Amino acid sequence: MAAGAQTSSEYIKHHLTNLTFGKDPSDGVWKLAETAQDAQEMGFYAIHLDSMGWSIGLGFIFIFLFSFVAKKASTGVPAGLQNAIEMIIEFIDTNVKDTFSHTNKLIAPMALTAFMWVLLMNLMDLVPVDWVPQLATFIGANFFGMDPHHVYFKIVPTTDPNVTMGMSLSVFFLALFYSIKNKGVGGFVGELTLHPFSSKNIFIKLILIPINLFLEGVALLAKPISHGLRLFGNLYAGEMIFILIALLPLYAQWTLSVPWAIFHILVIVLQAFIFMVLMVVYMNMAHDTGEH
C-alpha cells in the first residue's frame, strides 16, 4: 500500500475523490476543493477536472489514431495498426447492420466513436492505482504549493457518474430528436399514451391514457439512467477492487492484481460493447415507425 500515513479508510476515500473545481459557497471564490465535503458543497456547477481532462484527452487520441491510419492506409493486405483498426471498424459495422434496420449514415460512425471512446476510458482502469495519483500529488505539492493530502486525481473517467450519465443523456436526447422527426409529435405522443393498453372504445381509451403515460414514461426515463449507471457501476466496482488489492501486502498485490487485471480486460471490452449496442438499439427504436 502506498498510502503513507493514511489509514485504509482515508486511502480509499482519497482514491475515490475527484479533482474538483468549483465555487466555494462560503465566500463565493472559485477554487479547487480541498476535501470531498468541499466538493459536495460546491454543488451542480463544480467541474471534475480529472474526469474532463482524461475523457477529452482520450477522445483526441482516438481521433488522432484513426485519422493517422486513414491517411496512411494502403491498398492490399493491411498490417499492424491499420489491420487492427480495420478489424474494429468491420466489427462495429457488422453489429450496426445486424441491429439497426433503417438508413442513417450517422449511426455507424457514432457507434464506432462510442465504442472506442468508452473502451479507451475503461482501459485506464488497468493503470496501477497509485502511479498517476502519486505523480499528481508530487506535481501539486512541489510546483503549486498544494497540501499533498488535498491533491485528488482519478484517471478512469467512466468511474465518474457525471461522465457516464452525460454520454447516456446525449444518446437519450438524440433518440428523442429522431423519434419526433420520424414519427411526428402526434406519433411520439401516441407511442407514450396509447401503448401498451388500448381499446376501440373511446371512453376506455381515455381512461387508459394516464396509465399508459405512466408506464411508458417510466420505461422511457429508465433507458438513459440504466444506460449510464450500468457502465459506471461495473467500472467503479472494478476500480474499488484494485484499490482494495493495493491495501494488501506487496506479495498479495502481485498474486491478486495480475489475475484480476486479466479478467478485468473482459469487463472493459464488454462494457464498451454493451454501451455501444444499447445506443444503436435505442436509435433503431427511434427510427421504427411500423406502428404509426
Catalytic site residue from 122, 168, 234, 257? 234
CA dist 234 and 269 (Å) reads 12
Which one from 67, 83, 101, 226 is the annotated catalytic residue?
Answer: 226
**Own/partner long-range contacts of 31-34 (Cβ < 8 Å, ≥24 apart):** 32/146, 32/150, 33/152, 34/147, 34/150
Which of 60, 47, 11, 33 has its CA nearest to residue 140? 33
Report the half-sphere exposure of 125 (CA within 13 A, side-chain side): 34
For residue 241, CA distances in Å to 16, 235, 238, 245, 246 come to 12, 10, 5, 6, 9
Q: How far apart are CA 281 and CA 262, in angstroms?
A: 29
Buried b (16+ CB within 10 A) or exposed e, 29-40: eeebbbeeebbe
- Residue 230 annotated as catalytic: yes
Cα–Cα dist 162/159, whole Å? 9
**Bridge partners, residue 48, by sequence:** 20
Q: d(Cα 10, Cα 129) in Å, to the nearest integer?
A: 15
226 is catalytic: yes
Provide the β-strand partners of residue 21.
32, 47
Q: Is the bond leading into 196 cis (omega within 30 degrees of zero)? A: yes
Phi, psi of 48, rounded to the nearest 5 degrees: -85, 100
Question: In angstroms, rounded to a whole number, what is the distance separating the alpha carbons of residues 273 and 281?
Answer: 12
Q: Could you tell me the CA-to-CA distances from 257 to 70, 232, 250, 271 in Å, in that order?
A: 37, 21, 10, 20
Task: Give catalytic residues, as residue numbers.
Answer: 226, 230, 234
